[in-house]
Amino acid sequence: MKSLDKTGLQSYCGSKIPVRGVCKLSCKHKSSKAETLPFFIVETDSVPILGFRSSIDLNIVKLVLNVSKVEKSICKDMHAIDKTKMDDIISSYNDVFQGIGKLDGGCHLHLKDDAVPTAYPARRIPSSLRGKLEAELKRMEEQGIIEKVSKPTDWVNSMVAVEKKDGSLRICIDPVDLNKSIRRPFYPIPSLEDVTSRLHGVKYLSKLDARSGYWSLVLDDESADLTTFNTIFGRYRFKRMPFGIISAQDEFQRRMEEALEGLDGFAVIIDDLLVFGSTLEEHNKRLVAVLETARAKGIKFNKAKCSFCVTSVTYFGHVISEQGMQPDPDKLEAINNMPTPSNSEELATLLGMLNYLAKYIPNLSTQNKTLHDLSKATEFKWAKEHDEALQNIKHSTVSNLAYFDHSCKSIDLTVDTSSHGLGAYISSNGNVVAYASHSLSKAEQKYSQLEKELYAIVFGCKYFHHFIYGRHVKVTTDHRPLETILRNPLQKAPARAQRMMLQIQPYDLEFSYRPGTEIAVADTLSRLHLPDIDEKLHREIEGVVLILTLLDIYSNYIFNLPEIGSLCADNLKLLGVVQCKLDYYKQIFTIKTGQKQSI
């Protein structure tokens, strides 16, 4: 900061404003280019003001010098875009928004070998719901969702009837016992980050909601028998996949991806489908392709829950737009208006809501740890420090995060450590994509500073693996000795550092040093972390690792590790540790002896 003795700053009424100094910072507004602007530090307690010249530089204020000509702004709202054309597209596929879908092919529920059938009697329901239940069962039977059962079945589930806001009933089964006996396929469900990492440069989006998605999966006869349920009007079974079955989301995700395979510019998470494009023409072409495929494959959408050709859309609790990803305003409002917790249960709810904002908080406060400590305390007592911590967290939320640019040549991973935590964030083209922080266990807090810094790199690489794997990444740290040890041969590093260095070998990393004052965000994250480690389990792991390391197990004893594993068969935690060490020594034996052995 440069000191100033004289300044021409004055208030609106003409009084002078005392200035302590001035500093220059790089600033951006939305998609405008970065500008270096002067910031004056004043002694008065006043609201920050952005000057007229700075507003012009950031393209916030636009000068119209020719008043005789009205310059039309390009409105990106759906009402200004060719709405008629979009209405024509939707009306052309009106059948896709009617009825229940039906995907080709049957769906089978696989049971475990030791499955034991259970049968439950019909549950009593209030007499006031009897008529509604009978009407809903009849409606579902007419739609082909359920059918009457007269033959004996081994499985008879309980029925659950939930009254919806409009007064109608939602009928499901209670598959608690059936789910324990079903072999789940565990099909990979994309995360929100998997979707947003593909949205760089996207301007137009449409969100499609699959109508009663699971009901579009037709059960084969054997699987339908498993869904038999009892009612006061007799037994029924589902002909379509009922809600609540443990394998339903896996089957539906797989079938949706198979149905839409080969199409460009879409992403699907269970029953929410996102269509996107960088231009209006590209978006419309992709939307038509999705609707055409949906018609051919038997997919139906709920028009009331769909959004067509918009520039921002709420998707899985986050607002997605050209500018990046933002927290849902409704959820932010719920957090801001949440009353002060009066017990541990309410505090747990609050912490859960704050966890939703984790990716938007670059500076989690030290008081956040205080909140977690309070949730574990034997006596709940909300104090002033907890209230201050909560307010600091609310005020530290960033407005939005940029999308990851897959075409960018510069991918930066910045890390730092403190005595109790690690911090990291990843950026592309100078725009922050995501933040991350991690608390250290008591054992990890005893690491040397060099080991902590190396551990921060391991944490950052693993946390952002889906962004950086297979790419050249510039890693910035404020610990200069780390550069030296990373340039030396692996054998010269301490044992624990060797293990960490092995974990980052699959990545293409370029290391650089920068003083901590220049990487304040990561420095803050490392100090303001979230506790998230099972201390007892970590101590057990560290103990076993230490013993195995001190024994110097390489050529002779390494081959006895499977025998050690068999002796630990009754202790799942130790068995997991032995397996980890087995994988580790496969690598370390090659490094120490130059030999490769099959273990």
360 and 306 in one domain? no
Q: Is pLDDT larger for residue 216 or for residue 514? A: 216
| Whether residue 227 has pLDDT greater than 80 | yes
Residue type for position 396 = S
In a domain? residue 172: yes
pLDDT, residue 156, reads: 95
79-93, 139-153, 167-181, 276-290: range with lowest mean pLDDT: 79-93
Highest mean pLDDT among 234-238, 314-318, 319-323, 366-370 belongs to 234-238
* CATH number of 130's domain: 3.10.10.10
Question: Could you tell me which of 139, 156, 174 has the C-alpha nearest to residue 236?
Answer: 156
28 plus 168 within the same structural domain = no
Domain membership of residue 94 (yes or no) is no
Total domain count for the chain? 5
| pLDDT band at residue 351 using 50, 70 and 90 as cut-offs | confident
Q: What is the pLDDT of residue 55?
A: 63
Instruction: Compute the average pLDDT of residues 404-408.
Output: 60
CATH code at position 513: 3.30.420.10
Whole-number pLDDT of residue 200: 83
Which of 13-22, 63-72, 91-100, 572-581 is modeled with the greatest confidence?
91-100
319, 350, 376 — which closes off a domain?
319
Reported as half-sphere exposure (CB side, CA atoms, 13 A), residue 469 has a value of 8
* pLDDT reported for residue 82: 60
Are residue 280 and residue 391 in the same domain, yes or no?
no
Report d(CA 445, CA 516) in Å as an integer. 20
Q: Work out the pLDDT band at 180, boundaries 50, 70, 90.
A: very high
Most confident range (mean pLDDT) of 59-68, 364-373, 557-566 is 364-373
Is 330 a residue whose pLDDT tops 90?
Answer: no
Instruction: Give the percent of the chain with pLDDT over 70.
Output: 71
Q: Residue 192, class by beta-carbon neighbours within 10 Å (0-12 exposed, 13-18 middle, 19+ buried)?
A: middle
578 in Cβ contact with 561 (< 8 Å): yes
Confidence of residue 571 (pLDDT cuts 50, 70, 90): low
pLDDT of res. 302 = 93
Average pLDDT over residues 194-206: 88
- Domain identity same for 176 and 297: yes
Token representation of residue 590: 């090659």
- Give the pLDDT band (50/70/90) at residue 551: very low
Contact 319, 119 (CB under 8 A): no
Question: Would residue 599 count as lying in a domain?
Answer: no
Does the structure show a pLDDT above 80 at 332?
Answer: no
The predicted structure's pLDDT at residue 261: 93
Domain of 543 in residue numbering reads as 536-593
In a domain, 89, yes or no: no
User: And the tokens for 128?
Assistant: 């006031």
Segment 35-63 shows an average pLDDT of 65
Q: Would residue 551 count as lying in a domain?
A: yes
Residue 198 has pLDDT above 80, yes or no: yes
Residue 406 lies in a domain: no
Over residues 112-129, the mean pLDDT reads 91
User: Does residue 87 fall inside a structural domain?
Assistant: no
Per-residue tokens: 359: 């990716």
pLDDT at position 67, please? 39
Q: Domain ends where: 349, 366, 395? A: 395
Q: pLDDT value at position 237?
A: 96
- Same-domain check for residues 39 and 137: no
Over range 91-99, report the average pLDDT: 92
pLDDT at 138: 95
Q: What is the pLDDT of residue 547?
A: 46
Which comes out higher in pLDDT, residue 72 or 475?
475
Mean pLDDT, the chain, rounded, equals 77
Decide the pairing of beta strands 229-231 and 146-148. Answer: unpaired
Per-residue pLDDT, 274: 94
Residues 521 and 570 in one domain: no
Domain end point (choices 279, 299, 319): 319
Same domain, 480 and 522: yes
Q: Residue 402, Cβ neighbours under 10 Å: how many?
A: 18
123 and 52 in a single domain? The answer is no
pTM: 0.60
Q: CA 301 to CA 317: how far, in whole Å?
A: 20
**β partners of residue 230:** 235
* Token pair for 44: 């008065």
Both 257 and 178 in a single domain?
Answer: yes
Q: Is the pLDDT of residue 593 over 50?
A: no
| Triad 228, 229, 230: Cα angle to 5° | 135
Same domain, 225 and 248: yes
Whether 575 and 460 map to the same domain: the answer is: no
**Quick one: 300 and 367 in the same domain?**
no
Query: How does residue 206 score in pLDDT terms, banded at 50, 70 and 90?
Result: very high
Say which range, 235-249, 357-371, 376-390, 540-554, has the weakest mean pLDDT: 540-554
pLDDT the model gives residue 285: 94
pLDDT attached to residue 59: 60
555 versus 483: the higher-pLDDT residue is: 483
**Residue 66, Cβ neighbours under 10 Å: how many?**
7
Q: What would the mean pLDDT of 403-423 be, rounded to a whole number?
A: 74
Contacts of 543 (CB under 8 A, 6+ apart): none
pLDDT of res. 60 = 60
Domain assignment of residue 494, yes or no: yes
Angstrom distance (rounded) from CA 241 to CA 220? 10
Residue 225 has pLDDT above 60, yes or no: yes
Lowest pLDDT segment from 123-132, 185-194, 578-587: 578-587
